[in-house]
Amino acid sequence: MPQEATAGRLTVGGTLKDPLPIALHKSTAYVALPDRVQAVDTADGRVLATIAPREEAVRNSAEWDVDDSAQAPAVVPHGDASTLLAPFLVEQSGTGTQADHTAVELTGSDTDSHEVTWRLVLDLPKWAETSLSTLYTRVSGSENGKALVTVWDRTNAITFAVDVGTHKVLWTLDGFWAIGIAAGTAFGATLEDGTAHERVAGHGIVDGRRRWIGTDSFGLSAYSAGPHLIILRGRDYASGEAYHRLVDARTGTTRREMPADLAGADCTYDDRRTLVCSGKGAEGDVAAGLDAGSGEILWQLPDDAADRVAPKVSTAWHGRVYGTTGNGIVALDARTGKDLPTAPAIAPILVNETVGLALDESGDILMAYPTSG
């Protein structure tokens, strides 16, 4: 895979420290850079197409400080079709007495031909023009042909909800940092006047109306945990107490507090029925599988009684958990946690029905491998 796919995202020891700027669709990997997206054929490494904004990008890929600023594009199904969405920060040319200004050029590309079929300019508020810190943009989530595009810096954020089929903006919320979509609800952080205060909130994806809002927090992180659930982690601003919980995206109510053993764990939804969590516990690596509908814990490792250790999970997808232990690469059944009879050749970071992406033995190069079932 192109070196740009991992630039600025690896530690000296060859460990991935930031998410890959890649979306997989069938046999194509879409690799994002600040000023373009490369459509790469994972069968032979050929660049099939380059998707770029019409206006000049705010940053180009040759600049030393933008290696990790690009965020993964998104493949959004709608009806019988699917569209690749890629937002770019651009310098929008002014007309008449209007000065040039920073904007987002959202591109929609056909996933068969990889050609840009439409473009939509999203104008930004004044804080984006005067920001002293790096601006970022990403597709924060999609569901039922609706997508969220978020722009943020260190203290501000704005979110646009877009109908991918009609190419129209449904609503805009300045001060809302959208993180994802679940059950028709855009969830994310409502920022309080550029301070460290954050309040997680949920908004209807169609009309943008607020459905619920949480308490003041700091150090907030959130992500989708299945069709209806999200994971929230942070600290209560008043008490300073840490929390890590599964929350119903539709109402903001807590389904369960995460067990203490999984307090530092990160979780991955397998896009089927299971949430797989792994991380460092008090006594070493831990891993667990939770039902993505109810939050019930299905299995947990290590299991001293069965003499089983916990893997370091690389990802989970469609009922399989991939990872490594001291004995090598393993694959587990996501519902039971049991070892699958045939271990895979790699522990992929990203995987779909066609290809798995993993670092080579040196930890420096991202390789593409065909999947087998």
Residue 203's pLDDT band (cuts 50, 70, 90): very high
pLDDT-based confidence at residue 230 (cuts at 50, 70, 90)? very high
The Cα 359–Cα 355 span in angstroms is 13
Look at residue 343 in the predicted model and tell me its pLDDT: 85
What lies within 8 Å, CB to CB, of 14 at 6+ separation is 359, 362, 363, 364
Per-residue pLDDT, 313: 95
Give me the pLDDT at residue 41, please: 97
pLDDT in the model for residue 202: 96
Name the residue among 122, 87, 85 with its Cα closest to residue 102.
122
Quick one: what percent of the chain has pLDDT higher than 70? 94
Mean pLDDT for 168-174 is 97
In a domain, 29, yes or no: no
Tell me the average pLDDT across 204-219: 92
CATH of the domain at 67: 2.130.10
Q: Average pLDDT over the chain, rounded to whole?
A: 90
Side chain identity at residue 186, one-letter code? A
Mean pLDDT of 225-244: 91
The answer to whether residue 15 is domain-embedded is no
Average pLDDT over residues 250-256: 94
- Split into its structural domains, the chain has a count of 1
Residue 249 has pLDDT above 50, yes or no: yes
User: Residue 210 sits in which domain range?
Assistant: 53-370
- Kindly tell me if the per-residue pLDDT of 319 is higher than 70: yes
Q: Cα–Cα distance between 105 and 222 in angstroms, integer?
A: 26
One-character DSSP codes across 298-350: EEEE-BTTTTBPPPEEEEEETTEEEEEETTEEEEEETTT-PBPSS--S---SE
Residues 6+ apart with CB under 8 A from 66: 34, 59, 60
Find out whether 44 and 1 touch, Cβ atoms under 8 Å.
Answer: no
Q: Does residue 34 lie in a domain region?
A: no
User: Is residue 263, in this structure, part of any structural domain at all?
Assistant: yes
38 domain-assigned: no
pLDDT at 59 over 90: no
Higher pLDDT, 132 or 118: 118
Which whole-number Å values give the CA distances from 337 to 92, 237, 283, 323, in the listed order? 51, 37, 20, 12
The answer to whether 214 and 199 are in contact (CB under 8 A) is yes
pLDDT at 106: 98
pLDDT the model gives residue 69 = 75
Look at residue 58 and tell me if it is in a domain. Answer: yes
> Is the predicted pLDDT of residue 316 greater than 50, yes or no?
yes
Q: Specify if 39 maps to a domain.
A: no
Mean of pLDDT values over 4-32: 85
Q: How far apart are CA 9 and CA 16, in angstroms?
A: 6
- The region of weakest confidence among 55-64, 85-94, 208-217, 273-282 is 55-64
Q: Indicate if the pLDDT at residue 81 is higher than 70.
A: yes
Q: How high is the pLDDT of residue 64? A: 47
Q: Is residue 13 part of a domain?
A: no
- Among 83-97, 118-132, 250-264, 279-293, the range scoring the smallest mean pLDDT is 83-97
> Mean of the pLDDT values across residues 28-43?
95
- Whether pLDDT at 282 is above 90: no
List the beta bridge partners of residue 198: 191, 217
Q: For residue 155, what pLDDT is reported?
A: 86
| 66-76 mean pLDDT | 82
pLDDT, position 119: 98
Residue 67 has pLDDT above 70, yes or no: no
